[in-house]
Amino acid sequence: IGVDPRVSIDSYPGLMVNYAKEKGAQVILRGLRALSDFEYEFQMALINRRLDRDIETVFLMTGYKWFYTSSNLIKEAASHGGSVRGLVPDIVLQKLEEKYESQFNKGRKG
């Protein structure tokens, strides 16, 4: 999460492959953390290829720092007052602290 003029954040109510086509993209870039991510992403890539052969899907493996990080694990730890500092960007940490303020304060007292 940062400022880079080449990057934009957007949402789309339909299929990723249709969004890519509307934006004139030739590649869909997907990140993988673990082998368990690959099966789902691979199936999605095959469907996307069937829907539009001109759009490729490229997979990138995450850096080691993020390998075991998942949003579910982060939310679980934060909701029980566990420290997730260093596992998420500062802005995400701030939002989690706001959401789970009472648990963060309880965790700091102990």
pLDDT of residue 46: 97
Q: Which of 5-9, 44-48, 84-88 has the highest mean pLDDT?
A: 44-48
pLDDT of 104 above 80: no
Q: Tell me the angle at which helices 90-99 and 101-109 cross, rounded to the nearest 10 degrees.
A: 90
pLDDT of residue 107: 53
- Lowest model confidence (mean pLDDT) among 3-7, 41-45, 96-100: 3-7
Closest CA to 66 of 74, 75, 77, 58: 74
Hey, CA dihedral for 4, 69, 62, 44, is it positive or negative? negative
pLDDT in tens, 73-83: 899 999 998 99
**Tokens read off for 20:** 């890519």
Q: pLDDT band at residue 35, thresholds of 50, 70 and 90?
A: confident
Q: Which fold has domain 7-66?
A: Rossmann fold (3.40.50)
Instruction: Map out the domains of the chain as residue ranges.
Output: 7-66, 69-110
Q: pLDDT band at residue 110, thresholds of 50, 70 and 90?
A: very low
